[in-house]
Structures are given as structure tokens and as C-alpha cells.
């Protein structure tokens, strides 16, 4: 009896000491905690979520890791080497040091700190109207062809470069904030809107002699998307009237006055999942796309699996239609007719297709492991008619499906072609109504030979294998964009000292390399005409 009690006390004591030991081993100083929060925000939150419940990456809450018996060494190995599922090897790729991997391995074993909420008043405090709307030029102050301007995100410089697509000259560089994610173009083609990972939006006026910032606001603490009202019709003229920002944290979207960029209305996207009806605190806004036919912005509420159609024609009586699709909606775009919205539910290996006229899901296409289309690509296949396509993060595959339910109903929303790429890790694909090729990259593939290569499919010879070649001997290739005419392809070499390589789309011959001290880590490139009109 006594020995039994003694043994129990001893065991509890030893376990207690062990637990204390683990806690001490994990304990982070305030300085470490702040550093880890910063790294998590920059490198991890996008895929795993701020609350670490998982999306493009799996759930990595402290309780989940504990239930899998993962310790600091195991987690460090994942962070160092990456995983087959598409997580980059952060240490191997030189993005984190071994010490930082150790810090992050300890950080994810303690409960996640919850960032603050953000009200309209908080946003207003950050709103800067640099040039009031009535003080802006009344007409373009230069003779350049704005339609063929390219806005290039210089990620680590916190700038956007505006390049004249006709002359290939740098027109200006504008401060837009660190780790800026993407640019979008206003409905009239006059403004670039940028959105940063830190939720900061900047408006750039392309009519100025030297295009520059005219307004900015920090709408959320974490964001990935922005778009602009593009409707003009019987319900009113909404061209450039509103900008909409989609936030990762807090999970919400904000409608702003389009030209001064003053925040007007904030709507939470915290909601229930479409399938199990469980409450999702971190229901983030991923891709957003403006309708050209209706006064609507369409947004992916990632974790819930709903696509929201937000009718902005009456802000006091906002109408939102919620279309159930599939969980973990990420990126995507229109089909060639701009009737069907095609978005990747990437952790479900599917593209979901929603008819924007009826606001109903009309199809799901199982394309491969983790589709990641960017905006996607549309072209006409000689055998199957209009098709759309995505490459994949999880495997070296480009999959095309029929996207013309009227003309080719037998192929609609069915896989019609599969092309083998060099490997997984693809982020983007691009085509153009006038192009002769479809282009794809492998930006996140761990092998330099692969992540420095592009592959192209010849639209006229769809049975041929893709042609692939190495574009660069440094950095990695990311994001592809056509010029307005669709006869040049612009490719980013994503490196500290980056390049933009321009190819003739027909001959696939290199035409020019744009270089310069200012070309620091170029990522996304957005042609004004193509972005404004959703041409891809
Ligand atoms: Fe992106 C689009 C989210 C990492 C460059 N990216 C998108 C979209 C989303 C998204 C939701 C669609 C926006 C839209 O259309 O409204 N991106 C995320 C992430 O969560 C992720 C995976 C991880 C993160 O932590 O941010 C991520 N993205 C990256 C990058 O690392 C890239 C290559 C460079 C960068 O930003 O540092 C990058 N994402 C881009 C680009 C687009 C994009 C260039 C727009 C593609 C287009 O052609 O429209």
C-alpha cells in the first residue's frame, strides 16, 4: 500500500520534472518571441494560418504537434528540408538560418499568440491622402502608352517598379511597403492598387508625369488581395468607385472609397464551414475578383469553402450570396468569357467552378496535387475547344479542362489534357488570346535546375510534350506575364539582383533582359491592359 503510493508520487514527480524540463527547453525570451512572431508572419502564416489550424499547409497547433509526438528536432528537420507536400526547405534554400529553424521549432510548440482585431477607426488612423483627388492630373501628363505599362513588385525592396512595356524603360519606382504581395489595376486603367502582406494598400496614379503614390491605408494586419469595382451599367457607374481589400487577419474584407482610399465599411468573414457547419474563427479572404457584368466582387472565404458574391451597389444594404464549393479556396480567375469563376481548393486537389450568372457551383475538377493557377490560363485547344488550366504545387503536372459548356458541353469541367512538367512547386501559368504558347514555371521546386526553368505548351501542337529550358543561372523563376499584344512573355528572375527576361512568344527566342540595381527581387508583374481586362 505504502510502496504503491510512494511509487505513484515518484512517477508523478518525475513526469512533473520532465514536463517542467520541456517547458524550460521551449521557453522563449521576449526577444525570441518577437523574432519568431515576425518569421511566422513572413514565412509560415500564409499556408498554416495565424492560429495554425492549417489551409495550404497542415494544422500545426501546439496540441496537434504534441499529439503526433513531434519534438524540436523533428520539427526542425521539416523546416530545414521541407516536405514532399510542397513546403519549402527554408534552411536548405537559405531563407532561414539553422538557429532560426530551432527558434521556430520551439515557437510552434507553444500556443499561438493571437493578434489584435482591427476596426474602421484603426484603419482611418493610418489613412494618408497624399494627393487629394481634385489635385490630381486631369489628363495623362506624359505621352507613354499606359495600357502597356507593367507594374513589377520588388518584394524585398518594398517598391513597385513601373516599366514602359513599349520602350522597356523604367518609368518610376514607388515605395509600397515591405513584402508587398500583388498589384491590381483600376477599372479605367489609370491606377495601380498594391496590397502588402501587412495589409497596407497603396494607390499609384499612372497619369502623373512620374507615376507615384497618391493615397495609402493599412486595412488589416495581414492581407493578400485587393480588387476594384468594374461595373458600369443600368445600376450605375462604379468604375474605380470602390476598392475592396481581403484580409487574412483579422478575417474580414473592407470596402474603400476607390480614389481617396478612405475605408468605408468592414465586414467579418468569420463563419461556419460549408460541410460540417463548424465555426471557423480564422476564415480568411484569399483571392478576390471583380465582376465586369454585375456590381459584384467575388471572394474566396478560404477555410469555410464558400465563395461570397458581394453586391456593392448599396453599401447600407449589402447583399451577399454565399455559394458552397470546397474548403481551402485559394487562387484562380475567370474563364475566357468571364462568366465562370474557377478557383483552386488546393488542399482538396480540385478546381471549383461557379457560374457567376446563376451563382451556383456547376462543376469541380480533380486536377492533381495542390493546384495553384495564379489567375490561370485560357486558350482554344484544336480538339477540345476553349480550355482552362492549372499547374500544381505538389507534382510536376499541368492539367487542362474544358471550359465551354455551351459549345463543347461534353468536355465542360472535365480534364482533357495532362502535360508533364519538370517537377512540382509551380505557382503560375499564363496564356493570352493572341499567344501561341502557354507558359508555366516551378518557382518553389527545391532543385535549382528546375526552379530556374520554364516550360511551354504549343497551342497549335497540343499532342507534343512541353518544351522546357533553363532561363537563368541564379535565383529562381517566378510569375509570367504577357504584354498587351500577347506576343511577348515577361519572366521574373527572383533574386536579390533580379532580372526580367523577355521572350518572343512565337519563336521562343530571348529578346531582352531588363537589369539594374533597382531590380531587387522582382516577383509579380502586372500588365495594365491585361490585368484591367482579366486577360490570361
Ligand atoms: Fe501569393 C496571388 C496567397 C506566397 C506572389 N497569392 C495570390 C493570391 C493569394 C495568394 C490568395 C490570389 C490573390 C487574388 O487574386 O486576389 N501567396 C499567398 C499565400 O498565402 C502564400 C502561399 C504564402 C504567403 O505567406 O504569402 C503566397 N505569393 C507567394 C509568394 O511567395 C510569391 C511568389 C511572392 C511573394 O509575394 O513574396 C507570391 N501571389 C503572388 C502573385 C500573385 C499571387 C504574383 C498574383 C498572380 C496573378 O497573376 O494575378
Tell me the per-residue pLDDT of 482-531, one tens digit each, with 9 for 90 and over: 999 999 999 999 999 999 999 999 999 999 999 999 999 999 999 999 99
Q: Is 507 helix (H, G, I), strand (E, B) or coil?
A: coil
At residue 55 the predicted structure's pLDDT band, cuts being 50, 70 and 90, is confident
Nearest C-alpha neighbor of 459 from the set 431, 425, 423, 422: 431
At residue 14 the predicted structure's pLDDT band, cuts being 50, 70 and 90, is very low
Residue 18 has pLDDT above 80, yes or no: no
Residue 23 has pLDDT above 60, yes or no: no
Nearest C-alpha neighbor of 334 from the set 74, 532, 93: 532
Nearest C-alpha neighbor of 188 from the set 263, 260, 239: 239
Marked catalytic residue, from 123, 247, 330, 442: 330
Instruction: Give the ligand 1 atom nearest the CA of 55.
Output: 20
Residue 210: CB atoms within 10 A of its CB come to 11
Question: Does this model's pTM top 0.95?
Answer: no
47 catalytic per annotation: yes
Share above pLDDT 90 across residues of the chain, in percent, rounded to a whole number: 91
Q: Please tell me the predicted confidence (pLDDT) of residue 238.
A: 98
Residue 7 has pLDDT above 80, yes or no: no
Q: Please tell me the predicted confidence (pLDDT) of residue 8.
A: 55
Nearest C-alpha neighbor of 320 from the set 329, 308, 302, 305: 308
pLDDT digits (tens, 9 = 90+) for 430-478: 999 999 999 999 999 999 999 999 999 999 999 999 999 999 999 999 9
Residue 303 has pLDDT above 80, yes or no: yes
Cell of 293: 457584368
In this structure, of 2-11, 117-126, 312-321, 378-387, the range with the lowest mean pLDDT score is 2-11
Q: Is 218 helix (H, G, I), strand (E, B) or coil?
A: strand
- Is residue 117 within 8 A of residue 144, CB to CB? The reply is no
Q: Please tell me the predicted confidence (pLDDT) of residue 11.
A: 47
Distance in Å, CA 283 to ligand 1 centroid: 17
pLDDT digits (tens, 9 = 90+) for 57-94: 899 999 999 999 999 999 999 999 988 777 888 998 88
Binding-site residues, ligand 1, Cβ < 6 A = 46-47, 56, 155, 181-182, 224-225, 286-288, 330-331, 374-375, 427-428, 443, 478-479, 523-524
- Is residue 253 within 8 A of residue 266, CB to CB? The reply is yes
474 catalytic per annotation: no
Give the separation between CA 176 and CA 212, rounded to whole angstroms.
Answer: 10
Q: Please tell me the predicted confidence (pLDDT) of residue 423.
A: 97
Across 292-306, average pLDDT: 98
Q: Is the peptide bond before 248 cis (omega within 30 degrees of 0)?
A: no
At residue 4 the predicted structure's pLDDT band, cuts being 50, 70 and 90, is low
Q: Is 263 helix (H, G, I), strand (E, B) or coil?
A: strand
372 catalytic per annotation: yes
Q: What is the mean pLDDT of the chain?
A: 94
141 catalytic per annotation: no
- Is residue 291 within 8 A of residue 230, CB to CB? The reply is yes
Nearest C-alpha neighbor of 438 from the set 510, 338, 505: 505
Chain centroid to CA 303: how far?
Answer: 15
Residue 292 has pLDDT above 70, yes or no: yes
At residue 398 the predicted structure's pLDDT band, cuts being 50, 70 and 90, is very high
Distance in Å, CA 40 to ligand 1 centroid: 16
Amino acid at each position: 500500500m505504502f510502496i504503491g503510493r510512494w511509487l505513484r508520487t515518484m512517477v508523478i514527480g518525475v513526469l512533473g520534472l520532465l514536463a517542467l524540463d520541456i517547458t524550460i527547453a521551449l521557453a522563449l525570451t521576449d526577444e525570441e518571441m518577437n523574432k519568431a512572431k515576425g518569421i511566422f508572419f513572413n514565412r509560415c502564416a500564409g499556408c498554416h494560418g495565424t492560429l495554425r489550424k492549417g489551409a495550404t499547409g497542415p494544422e500545426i497547433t501546439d496540441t496537434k504537434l504534441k499529439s503526433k509526438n513531434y519534438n524540436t528536432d523533428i520539427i526542425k528537420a521539416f523546416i530545414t528540408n521541407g516536405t514532399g507536400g510542397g513546403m519549402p526547405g527554408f534552411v536548405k534554400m537559405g531563407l532561414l538560418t539553422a538557429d532560426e529553424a530551432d527558434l521556430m521549432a520551439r515557437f510552434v510548440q507553444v500556443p499561438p499568440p493571437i493578434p489584435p482585431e482591427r476596426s474602421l477607426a484603426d484603419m482611418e488612423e493610418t489613412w494618408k491622402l497624399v494627393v487629394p483627388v481634385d489635385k490630381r492630373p486631369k489628363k495623362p501628363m506624359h505621352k507613354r502608352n499606359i495600357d502597356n505599362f507593367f507594374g513589377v513588385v520588388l518584394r524585398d525592396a518594398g517598391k513597385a517598379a513601373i516599366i514602359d512595356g513599349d520602350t522597356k524603360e523604367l518609368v518610376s519606382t514607388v515605395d509600397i511597403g515591405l513584402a508587398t504581395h500583388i498589384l491590381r489595376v483600376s477599372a479605367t486603367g489609370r491606377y495601380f492598387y498594391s496590397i502588402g502582406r501587412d495589409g497596407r494598400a497603396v494607390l499609384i496614379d499612372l497619369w502623373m508625369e512620374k507615376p507615384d503614390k497618391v493615397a495609402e491605408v493599412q486595412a488589416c494586419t495581414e492581407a493578400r488581395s485587393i480588387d476594384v469595382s468594374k461595373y458600369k451599367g443600368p445600376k450605375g457607374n462604379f468604375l474605380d468607385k470602390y476598392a475592396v481589400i481581403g484580409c487574412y487577419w483579422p478575417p474580414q474584407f473592407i470596402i474603400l472609397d476607390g480614389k481617396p482610399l478612405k475605408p468605408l465599411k468592414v465586414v467579418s468573414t468569420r463563419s461556419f464551414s460549408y460541410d460540417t457547419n463548424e465555426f471557423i474563427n480564422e476564415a480568411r479572404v484569399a483571392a478576390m475578383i471583380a465582376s465586369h457584368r454585375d456590381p459584384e466582387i467575388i471572394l474566396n472565404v478560404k477555410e469555410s469553402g464558400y465563395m461570397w458574391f458581394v453586391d456593392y451597389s448599396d453599401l447600407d444594404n449589402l447583399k451577399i450570396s454565399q455559394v458552397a464549393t470546397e474548403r481551402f479556396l485559394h487562387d484562380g480567375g475567370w474563364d475566357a468569357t468571364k462568366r465562370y469563376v474557377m478557383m483552386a481548393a488546393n488542399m482538396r486537389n480540385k478546381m471549383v467552378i461557379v457560374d457567376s450568372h446563376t451563382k451556383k457551383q456547376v462543376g469541380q475538377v480533380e486536377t492533381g496535387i495542390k493546384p495553384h493557377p495564379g489567375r490561370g490560363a485560357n486558350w482554344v485547344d484544336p480538339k477540345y475547344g476553349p480550355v482552362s488550366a492549372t499547374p500544381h504545387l505538389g507534382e510536376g503536372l499541368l492539367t487542362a479542362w474544358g471550359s465551354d459548356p455551351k459549345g463543347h458541353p461534353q468536355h465542360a469541367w472535365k480534364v482533357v489534357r495532362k502535360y508533364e512538367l519538370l517537377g512540382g512547386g509551380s505557382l503560375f501559368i499564363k496564356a493570352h488570346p493572341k499567344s501561341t504558347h502557354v507558359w508555366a514555371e516551378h518557382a518553389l521546386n527545391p532543385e535549382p535546375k528546375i526552379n530556374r526553368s520554364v516550360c511551354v505548351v504549343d497551342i497549335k501542337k497540343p499532342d507534343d510534350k512541353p518544351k522546357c529550358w533553363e532561363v537563368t543561372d541564379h535565383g529562381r523563376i517566378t510569375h509570367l506575364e504577357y504584354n498587351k499584344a500577347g506576343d511577348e512573355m515577361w519572366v521574373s528572375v527572383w533574386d536579390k539582383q533580379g532580372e526580367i527576361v523577355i521572350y518572343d512568344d512565337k519563336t521562343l527566342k530571348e529578346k531582352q533582359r531588363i537589369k539594374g540595381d533597382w531590380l531587387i527581387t522582382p516577383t509579380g508583374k502586372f500588365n495594365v491592359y491585361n490585368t484591367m481586362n482579366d486577360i490570361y
